Structure 1
Amino acid sequence: MTSERPVARLRLTPLLAAGAVMQLAAIVLYAVNSAHQRFSPAWGWLPGIALTLVTVVACWQTARTPGLDRVAARLWRSIGATAFFVALGNIGDARQSVLDPARATQQQHDTPTAICYAIAIGLVIWTLMRLPLDRRGTTARFLLDALTITVTVGVFAWYFTTRAITSGSSQHTTVPTLMLAVLGLIVALAMIKVAMSGTGGLEQGVLRWFAGAAAIGTVGGGLFPLFVEVPPGLSGSQIFAPATMLCLAFAADRQRRAVGGPVRPPRRRSVSSIPYVAVAATDGLLLWVSGESGRTVLVVAAAASLLTAIVAVRQFTALRDNGRLLRRVDQQLTQLNDYQAELQHRATHDGLTGLANRALFEQSANEMLDAGVPLCLAMVDLDDFKTINDRLGHAVGDAFLAAIADRLRTTLRTSDIPARLGGDEFGILLPGLTGDEALALLSRIDEAMSVPLKVAGHQLLARASTGLAEAWPGATAAELLRRADIAMYYAKDNGKAQFAVYDAALERTHEADQKLGAELRHAFDAGQFTLAYQPIVRLPDGLWTGLETLIRWPHPERGFIGPDLFIPIAERTGLIVPLGTWILHTALGQMAAWDAEFGPGVAPRELGVNVSARQLREPGFAGEVREALSFSGVSPDRLVVEVTETAVFDGGVALDTLLEIVKLGVKVALDDFGTGHSSLGLLRTVPANTLKVDKSFVAGIGGASEEAVIATAMIQITDGLHLKAVAEGVETEAQADTLYQLGYRFAQGYHFSRPLPPAEVRSRLTDGELARSTVVRN
């Protein structure tokens, strides 16, 4: 919004000060000579002549002011030229006051002087006729008002002139002067009406000086001799002509200082006072004349004037009411426009954060792309935002999103456009940047986000996965969004809190994932998944102590698809939640079937089930575990929930859910221990019963290797904390022997058994091979 500059005030420059001194000198000279002629009458004209030339200079300076509107410059040049011809006319009057004082007193001009004054008035009229009128109806109103003033002043001029002739007064020669006064009034009215229409950038202060010049020049110069006895050789124009020029000089100075600032339009009036003043003046003259014509004429004239006044008051009241109604309509229209602007803002902005919404975001992106502006688009998805909503409530979650929006506003450039696209997903348009430049800006945003946010009394840390796509010739907003979305999910799949830039390889991976995701949903609905169970054995004799449940997908066309390929896609699409529920119920149901068939002495003692981080963050997951245990009839202490360190690293809802599960009597195992973020720190917060040492530490074990050192340290930790340690990925007898010597008493791997389908587990239990496992060598 453009800030308004202060309105220009009157400033007495040296030029204007000289003009004011000349005006004072003109008044003094006239007063001295009117009492007793001490100086030649020509001296009374000199201040006015000098002041008129000052006005010429002021008008030409204003016309040449840089930044002045072209029409306004032409107007001021014309006023300057008019003042110049007025100066020539004043010189002629000064000459005549010396040669013929009587004619000068009666304001009878010689031919050259009259021509100068006529040219001055003609110049003004011609200039006003060339000025365009900005508002419809201005021309008609001007003509009507000008006609009203002309008729009124003409009647008064005719009356006083006729009276002077009838009475034999020597002032009958004022008729030409009165005609000039009528023309002057028309010119003044035209100038004011045109200025009020907004032409030429004239502001209210300039208009007031114009009005003052018109009033002084016409009333003083034209009507002064009718009411005041003027001594020979003197003229009222010696006082009023310089005063008129001084007003024009002040108007020119104000216009010059107002250039470049906002133009305050004149206040709109619902009722024009010109017709009423004209009618009142004419009625007054009518009553004056009627008083000299007898009582009868006076009564009729008084009645006519009274009726005219009543009609005028009635019309004035109606116009005032109409004006009040129009102002009320204007107010309602203004309110309606405000409501429309508010609705438009709501339609294009997010109500919670105040950022642009998806519609405005895509519209802005398309406009930038159509304009050929270099553009990068970033998709920002908050990591683990659901945890905040679940732990602290949706009110805190909403406040957190609003704080994120404020952080974006303060970090981004003014040309960037952040938007909330839905949920915890934000978009950012980065115009004018290439991919590398956009990454640098996003790095600064990430640094700003690393500062904890204080939200509703909580210190919260914002972590986000960001995908970036750079526009190309022919790009569309929808395609740019899709590419940034692919890059964002790639960043999330690779550990979260990362940046990723779209490229063709991501596209191929994404397409493959999309296709596999669709097949994954179909496989789940068609019941294609099966479960396998890998034994956990005791060292050194290989006795089965439990089973770990593993999911298998025998694809009808692709064959076996490993969990490491489809489980991440299931987590990303949310299918892991129903899939995990199916695994839990199916595995516990199988455990119950073995118990029923073989009894507690033969059936496996414990059954491990893998649970993902997504499942732990689901509200009510602990209730699902309780329901599955109750439905199957399996004792809670025989179920082992296996979780990775990453799933519970951040604590929050996942850890709270795990604590609820432990309260049911279920055991917890930390799977793939040693590969997560902060394993030792987790042992103090996670209620684990078992540590499953990752196979990467088992594969190279032997002698004084680093793996042996780490494995030794882990068994010492678990012994000290009274935890059960299970070595994963044991594939050779040598590895098994070494682990036993290091202190491990439980292991799992292909050396002991591959994952077995339920039927084969039942066969092993039937054959009584539970006491010794069959070693499977690679």
Structure 2
Amino acid sequence: MQGAEVHTSPTTDGLVVRTRAGRATPIEGPSAASALATAADASASRTRRTWVAGSILAMTAPWVLWAVPPAGHAAYYLTVVAAAVVAFHLGVLRHRPVPSWPWHLIGAGLTLRFSGLLAATLWPGAALVPGFPLTVPLALRAVSFAVLVAGLVAVVKRSGPYRTHRVVDALAVSYGLGTFAWLLFVAPYLRGLHSTDRTMAFVLVMGDYALLSAAVLTVAVAVRHVAHLVVGLAGLLLVVSDFLWWLDGIRPIGNVPTTGPGVLALSGYCLMAVAAAHHTAAARRLERDQDVPTGRLRMALFGATTFAYPAFVLISNVDGRPIAPLIDIAYPAAITTAFCLYLAVRSAGLARDAYRREQEQAAQAAALGAALAEQQALQSQLTFRALHDPLTGLANRSRLTEALERTLTGASATHPYAMLLLDLDGFKDVNDTHGHPVGDELLVQAAARFGAVLPPGALLARLGGDEFAVLLEDVDEHECLALGERLTAALREPFRLAGHDLYLTTSVGLYVGAGPDAPSDVLRNADLALYAAKNAGKNQVVRYRPELQTAHLEQVEVLAGLRRAVAEGEFVLEYQPVVDLVTSRITSVEALLRWDAPGRGRISPADFVPVAEESGLIIPIGAWVLGQACADAKVWHERFGITVAVNVATAQLRHADFLTTVLGALRHAGLPPQALVLEITESTMIAATASEMQLVVSRLEDLRSRGIRVAIDDFGTGYSSLSYLRKLPVDILKIDRAFSMDDPDGAEGQDAALTRAIVQLSRSLGLSTVAEGVESSERAQVLRDLQCDRAQGFLYSQPIAAPALDELLAEQTARTPR
């Protein structure tokens, strides 16, 4: 988009590209930023090209002076100077540097210098004050020096922070250059002047020296700033042109020579204009330049300056000229004094910098040391956390594994080792009842009790939750069993927490090894022993036996088969009739789960139901049983008026979707809730915590409110049957087969007495009773005499499939119509 300008429009939300022809095109969306960036780059490119072209033109103008006829030298010279001064002012006005007054001071100095040239050309002998040998041109030139120097120093000071040693070094360079210039240019010129003219010329010389120092300072300090660098070089050209005039014996006022000094002077003026036209004239303050050591070239230059005055004295004595006080004494003494002051300042600065660096290095060393110490402490803390339990401070699983690997490396028949896994029995009940803070404190105290009974060298670790481990080396089986008993005994005393006496027990699994086992095998074997200890009744020590591994493998195989059976539908239901002891009619059936595994035949529920409950597969299996039993019972209920009983596992009853599952099965089958009985075991309540007990009771009440009845299966086998019976919302008690088997003492036997107590208790609570496992007519008669309501067992029928039950019920109806 050639020649386009990009700006925002007050009437639109986007950008507008306006061409030179005046046509405006709005830019919206993501292209606006891209167009703005492109236009900015184009504008910057045009500005650079314009500046370069102007700079070439400006630097060519001085050299044209030689091509101008002698008669036009003065006019051309003054014209170029005037143009340069005007261009300088225009550049400052265009870029508007902040602050702008230093640049305006330089412009004023250039204007005064031009005014002096103009006055010298038009009125060369005009006296400023009558009777005083100071002309107007000389006065303007002298004042211009002061204004130019002030402007340059202000530009340097306002351009940004800088290192003090740069200023001092710039003054040293100015001293050296000024001394050699004095010897080569100024002193010969001053000796040729009358004493009156010499004083005024000395003032101008001092002005040039001041301008020299300011120009060198500008170049030395502002080396990263193009405009400042160019303006400093321009000042140097003006000074050098004056020195060359004096070398030719020409006063640099009122003369426009065609020689080199005139070209250099015009170049200085033009460079001033070039500097003001550069965009960096408006640049903001720069960051402080990097503090770098003094280079060899600079050190050589500074060293050369120290020989300036001795060379001056040597030359003055060799040529044998008479000593002039002003030329040979006053200036050298002043300039040498200044140089000595420089050396003092420079030395102090170096000492200060060295001290500062030393302090910085000391501070950095201290900070580094503190950081390293903090890092080391943090690393130690992280290492400790990585290998220890944050709650108890015991070793964690990672550290136990590392220690076990070292132990296994040196294990042998003469150096056996042992691994004990401990699990706190009843800890979950404490957590659920009293909260996790109490549970955490309980873990800490239990860990302390375990640690108190361990022998030296034993490693106690917490593996997570309420599971701990102990690693022993060079021990025998008897010592380990004795230690296991001490560990179980350590928790028998109550824990006093949260105002309560809390009781816990611990189950211990022990594995003693002497060979190069893998750490995972050691932990697995100890875990199998722990599992056996918990299944055996808890609060005991069980040593690993190979049979545990065999049983575990069988369990793994059963679990894999169960997963396949769930996916492929390998389960079937059989039903066992429940008979009224008075009428001998079938009034209900119990659904019993069977698994016909391909290649293995029928598997006993005792072999796969515990595995299903532990793995969680009992949830989908139990849902299928409910659905299938309700579907089968629908016809039986409609034709024969019987109900169906379905066993419910503990995990099912506690599952969040249990109520939905039961009601869904009834709704899908079309079976009324009154035709369904859910059988739960006493273990469901005995092993439950207080919160779980409340949950179960709430769900059973919800089920009963919908017409579903609840039965307690295997009643009489639990430790707290009577206490739980008072809390549970149930309808039926099923007396365990242990009380229904044939008693050799008949109705007078102990089992009959217990059965009588259960029946009487049931009647007092308004519950009906069902005796399980009835296999003889004699036992049935005893139960009938005890006024037990119903019975089931092989005496009446074995569990049979649904079609066989259909025939049995039809036959019963045909034989004894209702």
Q: What is the TM-score normalised by the length of structure 1?
A: 0.55
User: Which secondary structure does the structure 2 equivalent of 1:549 belong to?
Assistant: strand
Query: How many residues of Structure 1 are paired with residues of Structure 2 in the alignment?
Result: 469
Q: Report how far residue 751 of structure 1 moved.
A: 0.6
Does residue 550 of structure 2 align to residue 523 of structure 1?
no
Contact 2:700 2:729 in 1 (8 A): no
User: Which secondary structure does the structure 1 equivalent of 2:813 belong to?
Assistant: coil
Contact 1:639 1:667 in 2 (8 A): yes
Partner of 2:696: 658
Q: Give me the whole-angstrom Cα distance separating, in 2, the residues matched to 1:671 and 1:657.
A: 19
Q: Report how far residue 317 of structure 1 moved.
A: 4.8
Does residue 641 of structure 2 align to residue 603 of structure 1?
yes
Q: Report how far residue 329 of structure 1 moved.
A: 0.3
Q: Report how far residue 464 of structure 1 moved.
A: 4.1
Structure 2 counterpart of 1:417, from 459, 469, 473: 459
User: Which secondary structure does the structure 1 equivalent of 2:553 belong to?
Assistant: helix
Partner of 2:394: 355
Does residue 583 of structure 2 align to residue 545 of structure 1?
no
Partner of 2:608: 566
Contact 2:422 2:509 in 1 (8 A): yes
Partner of 1:237: none
Does residue 641 of structure 2 align to residue 641 of structure 1?
no
User: Which secondary structure does the structure 2 equivalent of 1:355 belong to?
Assistant: coil
Contact 1:622 1:661 in 2 (8 A): no
Contact 1:353 1:405 in 2 (8 A): yes
Structure 1 counterpart of 2:530, from 488, 494, 499: 488
Q: Give me the whole-angstrom Cα distance separating, in 2, the residues matched to 1:698 and 1:466.
A: 37
Residue deviations 1:101-128, cap 9 Å, x none?
A: xxxxxxxxxxxxxxxxxxxxxxxxxxxx
Residue deviations 1:583-630, cap 9 Å, x none?
A: 2222223333544xx35xx231x3221122333344443444344444
Q: Report how far residue 510 of structure 1 moved.
A: 2.0
Residue deviations 1:650-694, cap 9 Å, x none?
A: 442543333122222133222112222222222222333222111
Does residue 801 of structure 2 align to residue 757 of structure 1?
yes
Contact 1:764 1:770 in 2 (8 A): no
Contact 1:542 1:771 in 2 (8 A): no
User: Which secondary structure does the structure 1 equivalent of 2:463 belong to?
Assistant: strand
The residue type paired with residue 639 of structure 1 is: L
With 583-592 and 727-736 compared, the bigger mean Cα shift is at 583-592
With 735-744 and 303-312 compared, the bigger mean Cα shift is at 303-312
Structure 2 counterpart of 1:472, from 505, 510, 514: 514
Q: Report how far residue 714 of structure 1 moved.
A: 2.1
* 1:769/1:345 CA distance change after superposition, 3 Å: farther
Q: Give me the whole-angstrom Cα distance separating, in 2, the residues matched to 1:577 and 1:492.
A: 23
Q: Give me the whole-angstrom Cα distance separating, in 2, the residues matched to 1:676 and 1:520.
A: 29
Counterparts in 2 of 1:338-737, with a 5 A limit?
Answer: 338-372=377-411, 374-383=416-425, 401=443, 404-405=446-447, 407-409=449-451, 412-413=454-455, 415-453=457-495, 460-595=502-637, 598-599=638-639, 602-604=640-642, 606-652=643-689, 653-659=691-697, 660-665=699-704, 666-701=708-743, 702-737=746-781
Q: Report how far residue 480 of structure 1 moved.
A: 0.9
* 1:561/1:687 CA distance change after superposition, 3 Å: same
Q: Give me the whole-angstrom Cα distance separating, in 2, the residues matched to 1:724 and 1:770.
A: 28
User: Which secondary structure does the structure 2 equivalent of 1:466 belong to?
Assistant: strand
With 431-440 and 528-537 compared, the bigger mean Cα shift is at 431-440
Tell me the C-alpha RMSD between the 2 structures.
3.5
Residue deviations 1:522-569, cap 9 Å, x none?
A: 222221111111111111331122111110112222222111121122
With 496-505 and 631-640 compared, the bigger mean Cα shift is at 631-640
Q: Report how far residue 304 of structure 1 moved.
A: 12
Counterparts in 2 of 1:21-100, with a 5 A limit?
Answer: none
User: Which secondary structure does the structure 2 equivalent of 1:642 belong to?
Assistant: strand
The residue type paired with residue 739 of structure 1 is: L
Q: Give me the whole-angstrom Cα distance separating, in 2, the residues matched to 1:626 and 1:408.
A: 49
Contact 1:669 1:692 in 2 (8 A): yes
Structure 1 counterpart of 2:786, from 719, 726, 742: 742
Contact 2:572 2:595 in 1 (8 A): yes
Where in structure 1 are there 5+ consecutive unaligned residues?
1-302, 774-778
User: Which secondary structure does the structure 2 equivalent of 1:566 belong to?
Assistant: helix
Contact 1:646 1:677 in 2 (8 A): no
Contact 1:416 1:428 in 2 (8 A): yes
Q: Give me the whole-angstrom Cα distance separating, in 2, the residues matched to 1:658 and 1:436.
A: 44
Q: Give me the whole-angstrom Cα distance separating, in 2, the residues matched to 1:627 and 1:391.
A: 33
Q: Give me the whole-angstrom Cα distance separating, in 2, the residues matched to 1:772 and 1:346.
A: 78
Q: Give me the whole-angstrom Cα distance separating, in 2, the residues matched to 1:484 and 1:369.
A: 15
Q: Give me the whole-angstrom Cα distance separating, in 2, the residues matched to 1:623 and 1:398.
A: 36
Q: Report how far residue 740 of structure 1 moved.
A: 0.7
* 1:578/1:439 CA distance change after superposition, 3 Å: farther
* 1:410/1:583 CA distance change after superposition, 3 Å: farther
Q: Give me the whole-angstrom Cα distance separating, in 1, the residues matched to 2:424 and 2:618.
A: 20
Q: Report how far residue 749 of structure 1 moved.
A: 0.4
Contact 2:422 2:468 in 1 (8 A): yes
* 1:490/1:355 CA distance change after superposition, 3 Å: same
* 1:561/1:649 CA distance change after superposition, 3 Å: same
* 1:428/1:586 CA distance change after superposition, 3 Å: farther
Contact 2:575 2:589 in 1 (8 A): yes
Contact 1:468 1:484 in 2 (8 A): yes
User: Which secondary structure does the structure 2 equivalent of 1:342 belong to?
Assistant: helix
The residue type paired with residue 609 of structure 1 is: V
Contact 2:395 2:461 in 1 (8 A): yes
Q: Give me the whole-angstrom Cα distance separating, in 1, the residues matched to 2:457 and 2:592.
A: 52
